[in-house]
């Protein structure tokens, strides 16, 4: 289950082995961390980046890589004093990608394309978003003949001059005049003394930038109460014989997006809150849609990832908290991290260098981002999975699990997260997340243990796939005895 970009994620860089001092420590080697480190280093700072796994190996390797200011149904719900500068910031980000790609002659298949927003059954919403974008001077145009093969949505419009690229080729070829270390997970941060600890060494920094997708410090910041994670599924298909030469997205949060990469068509969507898995056939549904549109197509890649969602749909970029002026955060991209990572790098670089940035206030983590409905839903989910479920005993034993399935059951007298493989081998992990101890949920689409509260994910051996967890789950593997 690997993304189409993954073959360019190489991961052969050194681990941090000895204590060091630096001006700025950046935690996280995804697009947010790399762009921030790049810009800070270009501005003359000594920068050290620490990555838990390998560079670009997090959400970034699993993106669909539309670089767009059109971001689903968004602008109509924002206040005008947010919508206009936010739109402008995204346009600046696309231009900045183009500038850097030209400057360093980066071959990452960057192309300007029209981006379409479509609806299957809600033309009203399309009209509202169209009007909101028109007011901001985005020049949207209705697209009467919009279709993908025989799929003809009810209504669509396009915004010109958005972009597509290969994210990993871009990041890999971007000059790195900063130190970076792979397999160097930050396990603890002394926020008073600005010291970061990995399992082998420590880093003393004047400033720290947390770009771990979901922030790894719980308090201060309280991001675990102000965001949640959403998971989406993606396939690439071959043998399509159509190059749409554009980017398509649905107005629905769980609708489908489409783009080409070379001969492939990439389709993603079917989003849900991480850990709230409503179906086990996500990939099958994507494949069925693809086959309906292109009967001869062949699925070549399948992958899935999660991103952080804020209540007001704008990212959090700036001081980690009111009281931590030497620690910065970049998070909450709402599945639009390509343009937003570029904007974030400019904001953070200006803040650290004591310069004003016109978007600092708009993106500030200290703004009021509270919205009643998503906040309540998040709090209820946390109460249910952090307080209620862990207190409930496991009623059924591992015998109740069919082959190739998982669940929270009794195993050797204790409540465990158990996956039983196709041969009956048991993989038993602790059932509570290593982050804040929410009860985990088995995702049969990906065969992972997912945290419904804050989106950490673990494989069946208990290894961390996705932060904010910093520790693995304790686990044991029990082979079944062959029957006589
Ligand atoms: C299915 C899907 C499709 C998407 N498509 C688009 C799109 O078309 N356009 C768009 O703009 N956006 C898209 N996005 C969103 C975009 O991909 C993300 O917002 C972006 O990649 C996030 O980058 P990041 O650097 O914040 O996170 P990551 O890439 O996850 O980087 C964070 C890094 O931090 C590391 N880390 C975590 N904990 C620690 C620790 N304790 N110590 C050290 N390192 C640590 C992780 O290993 C990881 O490498 C999509 C998202 C999804 C889920």
Using the atom order of ligand 1, give the atom closest to the CA of residue 259. 8
- Judged against a pLDDT cut of 80, whether residue 374 lies above it is answered with yes
Give pLDDT tens digits for 439-471.
999 999 999 999 999 999 999 999 999 989 999
Nearest-CA residue for atom 2 of ligand 1:
63
Ligand 1 pocket, 51 CB below 6 A?
Answer: yes
Closest CA to 162 of 85, 64, 253, 66: 66
pLDDT computed for residue 279 by the predictor:
77
8 Å CB contact between 187 and 212: no
Q: For a pocket test of ligand 1, which of 212, 272, 303, 313 has the largest count of ligand atoms closer than 8 A to its C-beta? A: 212
Q: What is the DSSP string of 326-382?
A: EEEEEE--TT-HHHHHHHHHHHHHHHHTT---TTHHHH-TTS----HHHHHHHHHHH
Closest CA to 30 of 223, 312, 305: 305
Let me know the angle formed at the C-alpha of 242 by 259 and 72, rounded to the nearest 5 degrees: 25
Stated length of the chain? 484
Nearest-CA residue for atom 51 of ligand 1:
335
- Judged against a pLDDT cut of 50, whether residue 369 lies above it is answered with yes
pLDDT computed for residue 479 by the predictor:
67
Ligand 1 pocket, 55 CB below 6 A?
Answer: no
Q: Average the pLDDT over 395-406 and give the result.
A: 93
- C-alpha 442/C-alpha 274 separation (Å) is 11
- Judged against a pLDDT cut of 70, whether residue 16 lies above it is answered with yes
pLDDT computed for residue 239 by the predictor:
84
Ligand 1 pocket, 167 CB below 6 A?
Answer: no
Q: Average the pLDDT over 350-363 and give the result.
A: 98
Ligand 1 pocket, 213 CB below 6 A?
Answer: yes
Ligand 1 pocket, 27 CB below 6 A?
Answer: yes
**Predicted confidence band of residue 220 (pLDDT cuts 50, 70, 90):** very high
Ligand 1 centre to CA of 133 (Å) is 27
6-363: in CATH 3.50.50.60: yes
**Predicted confidence band of residue 395 (pLDDT cuts 50, 70, 90):** confident
- Judged against a pLDDT cut of 60, whether residue 481 lies above it is answered with no
- Judged against a pLDDT cut of 80, whether residue 484 lies above it is answered with no
Nearest-CA residue for atom 20 of ligand 1:
337
Q: For a pocket test of ligand 1, which of 59, 215, 227, 342 has the largest count of ligand atoms closer than 8 A to its C-beta? A: 59
pTM of the model: 0.95
Domains 6-363 and 398-478 equal at CATH topology level:
no
Using the atom order of ligand 1, give the atom closest to the CA of residue 198. 42
Going from N- to C-terminal start, the domains of the chain cover 6-363, 398-478
Ligand 1 pocket, 32 CB below 6 A?
Answer: yes
- Cβ-count burial 25-61 (b if 16+ within 10 Å, e if not): bbbbbbbbbbbbbbbbbeeebbbbbbbbbbbbbbbbb
> What class has domain 398-478?
mainly beta
Give pLDDT tens digits for 247-290.
999 999 999 999 999 999 999 999 999 988 877 899 999 999 99
Q: For a pocket test of ligand 1, which of 64, 203, 434, 445 has the largest count of ligand atoms closer than 8 A to its C-beta? A: 64
Q: Average the pLDDT over 312-322 and give the result.
A: 97
Give pLDDT tens digits for 380-393.
999 999 999 999 99
For residues 474 and 429, the model is more confident at 429
- Judged against a pLDDT cut of 50, whether residue 375 lies above it is answered with yes
């Amino acid at each position: 289950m690997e993304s189409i970009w993954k073959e360019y994620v190489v991961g052969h860089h050194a681990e941090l082995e000895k204590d060091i001092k630096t001006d700025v420590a950046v935690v996280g080697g995804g697009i947010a961390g790399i762009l921030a480190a790049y810009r800070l280093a270009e501005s003359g700072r000594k920068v050290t980046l620490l990555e838990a796994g390998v560079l670009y190996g997090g959400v970034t390797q699993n993106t669909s890589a539309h670089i767009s200011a059109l971001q689903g149904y968004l602008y109509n719900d924002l206040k005008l004093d947010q919508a206009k500068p936010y739109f402008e910031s995204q346009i600046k980000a696309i231009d900045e990608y183009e500038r850097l790609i030209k400057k360093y002659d980066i071959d990452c298949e960057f192309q300007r394309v029209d981006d379409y927003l479509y609806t299957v059954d809600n033309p009203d919403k399309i009209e509202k978003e169209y009007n909101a974008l028109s007011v901001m001077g985005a020049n949207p145009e209705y697209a009467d003949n919009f279709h993908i093969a025989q799929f003809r949505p009810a209504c669509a419009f396009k915004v010109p001059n958005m972009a597509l690229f290969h994210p990993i080729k871009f990041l890999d070829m971007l000059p790195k005049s900063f130190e970076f270390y792979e397999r160097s997970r930050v396990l603890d941060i002394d926020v008073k003394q600005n010291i970061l600890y990995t399992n082998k060494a420590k880093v003393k920094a004047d400033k720290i930038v947390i770009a771990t997708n979901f922030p790894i410090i719980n308090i201060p910041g309280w991001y675990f109460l102000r965001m949640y994670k959403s998971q989406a599924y993606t396939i690439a298909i071959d043998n399509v014989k159509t190059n749409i030469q554009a980017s398509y997205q649905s107005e629905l949060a769980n609708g489908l997006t489409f783009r080409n990469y070379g001969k492939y068509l990439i389709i993603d969507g079917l989003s849900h809150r991480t850990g709230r898995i409503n179906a086990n056939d996500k990939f099958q549904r994507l494949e069925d849609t693809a086959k309906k549109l292109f009967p001869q197509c062949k699925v070549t890649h399948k992958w899935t990832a999660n991103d952080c969602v804020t209540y007001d749909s704008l990212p959090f970029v700036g001081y980690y908290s009111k009281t931590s002026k030497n620690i910065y955060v970049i998070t909450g991209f709402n599945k639009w991290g390509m343009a937003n990572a570029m904007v974030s790098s400019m904001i953070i670089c200006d803040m650290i260098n004591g310069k004003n940035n016109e978007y600092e206030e708009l993106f500030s983590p200290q703004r009021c981002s509270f919205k009643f409905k998503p906040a309540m839903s998040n709090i209820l989910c946390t109460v249910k999975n952090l307080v209620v479920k862990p207190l409930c005993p496991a009623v059924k034993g591992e015998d109740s699990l069919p082959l190739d399935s998982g669940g929270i059951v009794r195993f050797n007298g204790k409540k465990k997260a158990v996956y039983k493989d196709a041969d009956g081998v048991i993989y038993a992990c602790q059932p509570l997340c290593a982050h804040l101890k929410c009860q985990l949920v088995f995702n049969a689409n990906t065969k992972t243990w997912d945290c419904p509260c804050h989106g950490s994910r673990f494989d069946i051996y208990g290894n961390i796939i996705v932060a904010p967890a910093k520790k693995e789950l304790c686990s044991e593997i029990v082979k079944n005895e062959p029957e006589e």
